[in-house]
């Protein structure tokens, strides 16, 4: 029986998972279902400022979960302002307490950490809080925080080590700047903040920091949200600027100095133009670096076992079964070359991999039409091709873009942000106007996108979308009544409600 094989005497485990994030834990628990002997090695190398966290990986501890909760804090601030027009009366001054928010968020994260440990124990998965690195064929060395080393062997290994924030490599960056690894547990209000970067992490953090009332500036080297639809990315930038977030474009920091110690202190940031020799200086309480993330693959002994990585990016190339060039070593999640860096993708890939290895399954992870949402102040949900990618792949003459602005009913009474929300679908004319790109900019964008992603998996066409009756009055109904094409040049702005 495939599901009940005994571990060969030559190995300690059937499967050792290196990395206790979303993907690694999902794979480990799945393998335990098939009565496999499984070990998870998880270790958080502290940030330059000394922060570390519990079991669960980036998403739970310093990523999606705290980010969405702090985004919610910002949305509640906006809702308070809106509520006056709906008849709610309260004192003029409304204040936000940073410490109350971070303590509440960290308490919830702590409960998740505990839950993961309990789940592993219940499923009889061995967990060690130790740093795993390959030292030879089928062998890893596990080093705990006290420096105690142990060797373990396994028939198969799964690398799920994820990524960590990148630093600029300039004077003062690691000494004085923070990253997303530090922000969500910061023990003081960050005050006037410079966010360096134009990634979704940069814009999401800038958004909620401004949303809780802080003075925020974003320094952008070139374009916003590289890899995302640029039409939408620019609309997000415009909305953020209109809502009081400052943008410094085409500059990069070259030096960070501490002017005054404190919580927060005062930092002087010297920056240089990317277009010339212009130098500017600015003073901030906090500098948050969000310029990208690097795969944690260079210090886990992959060279000792011959696993090939992309030397430039550190990413691991795998086949369509998540297998590296070394047959008994697999990899999932953010460390994969040319794959999406999203928690649910890692979870799905991990579970399906284990089912193929131990349960005779054949289903592979589908990396196409994966929905995602960027939790900027105006949320952005997307699935499928960006407009640029669709034009490049199919040719401009073979795609039709339908689009419209819309005004959420909830925003009409406070009379704010008309013609800021936006809906767009991209259709392949040659394939019955099949929907190959879905984009929505507006409240609850993730909730809207999830359902349409399922429809796209089923191959929905524009005609089928048009024949779907909308739910009134909700934002998502706009997708059932799109008539204006970009090609026509007709106006999509709403007049009245």
Catalytic (active site) residue 472: yes
What is the C-alpha to C-alpha distance for residues 453 and 470, in angstroms, rounded to an integer?
17
Asked if residue 14 lies in contact with residue 155, where contact means CB atoms within 8 angstroms, the answer is yes
Report residue 444 as tokens: 């609850």
What number of helices (H) and strands (E) belong to the chain? 14, 22
Which distant-in-sequence residues (6+ apart) come within 8 Å of 417 by Cβ?
239, 378, 407, 411
- Of the candidates 9, 243, 403, 472, the residue annotated as catalytic is 472
> Which H/E stretch holds residue 165?
strand 163-165
What is the C-alpha to C-alpha distance for residues 28 and 329, in angstroms, rounded to an integer?
14
**Residue for token pair 């002997």:** 37
Phi, psi dihedrals of residue 152, rounded to the nearest 5°: -135, 150
Burial group, residue 240, by CB count within 10 angstroms (0-12, 13-18, 19+): buried
What is the C-alpha to C-alpha distance for residues 64 and 205, in angstroms, rounded to an integer?
11
Sequence-ordered strand ranges (E) for 274-343: 279-284, 286-289, 293-295, 329-331
> Which H/E stretch holds residue 314?
none
Torsion of CA 231, 232, 238, 244, to 10 degrees: -160
- DSSP state letters, 402-420: EEEEE--HHHHTTT--TT-
Supply the residues annotated as catalytic.
472
């Amino acid at each position: 029986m495939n599901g009940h094989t005994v571990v060969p005497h030559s190995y300690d485990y059937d499967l050792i998972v290196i990395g206790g994030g979303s993907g690694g834990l999902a794979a480990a628990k799945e393998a335990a279902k098939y009565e496999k002997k499984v070990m998870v090695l998880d270790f958080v190398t502290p940030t330059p400022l000394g922060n570390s966290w519990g079991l669960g990986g980036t998403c739970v501890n310093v990523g999606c979960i705290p980010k969405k909760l702090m985004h919610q804090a910002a949305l509640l601030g906006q809702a308070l302002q809106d509520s006056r027009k709906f008849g709610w009366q309260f004192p003029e001054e409304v204040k936000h307490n940073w410490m109350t928010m971070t303590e509440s968020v960290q308490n919830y994260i702590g409960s998740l950490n505990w839950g993961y440990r309990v789940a592993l124990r219940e499923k009889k998965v061995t967990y060690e809080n130790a740093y795993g690195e390959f030292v030879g064929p089928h062998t890893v060395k596990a080093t705990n925080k006290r420096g105690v080393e142990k060797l373990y062997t396994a028939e198969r290994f799964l690398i799920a080590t994820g990524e960590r924030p990148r630093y600029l490599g300039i004077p003062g960056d690691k000494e004085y700047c923070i990253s997303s690894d530090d922000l969500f547990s910061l023990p003081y209000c960050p005050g006037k903040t410079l966010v360096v970067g134009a990634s979704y992490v940069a814009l999401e953090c800038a958004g909620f920091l401004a949303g809780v009332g802080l003075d925020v500036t974003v320094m952008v080297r070139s374009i916003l949200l590289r890899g995302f639809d640029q039409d939408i990315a620019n609309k997000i930038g415009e909305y953020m600027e209109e809502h009081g977030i400052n943008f410094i474009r085409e500059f990069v920091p070259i030096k960070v100095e501490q002017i005054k110690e404190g919580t927060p202190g005062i930092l002087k940031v010297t920056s240089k133009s990317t277009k010339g020799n212009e130098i500017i200086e600015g003073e901030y309480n906090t500098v948050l670096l969000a310029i990208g993330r690097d795969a944690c693959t260079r210090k886990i002994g992959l060279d000792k076992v011959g696993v090939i990585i992309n030397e430039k990016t550190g990413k691991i190339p795998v086949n369509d079964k998540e297998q590296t060039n070394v047959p008994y070593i697999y990899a999932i999640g953010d460390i994969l070359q040319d794959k999406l860096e999203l928690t649910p993708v890692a979870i799905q890939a991990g579970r399906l991999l284990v089912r193929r290895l131990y349960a005779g399954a054949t289903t592979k992870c589908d990396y196409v039409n994966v929905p995602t949402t960027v939790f900027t102040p105006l949320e952005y949900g997307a699935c499928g091709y960006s407009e640029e990618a669709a034009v490049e792949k199919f040719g401009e003459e073979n795609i039709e873009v339908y689009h419209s602005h819309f005004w959420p009913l909830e925003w009409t009474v406070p009379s704010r942000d008309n013609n800021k929300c936006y809906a767009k679908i991209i259709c392949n004319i040659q394939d019955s106007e099949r929907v190959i790109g879905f984009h929505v900019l507006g409240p609850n964008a993730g909730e809207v996108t999830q359902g349409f992603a399922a429809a796209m998996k089923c191959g929905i066409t524009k005609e089928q979308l048009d024949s779907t009756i909308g739910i009134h009055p909700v934002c998502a109904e706009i997708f059932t009544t799109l008539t204006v094409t970009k090609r026509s040049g007709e106006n999509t702005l709403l007049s009245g409600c």
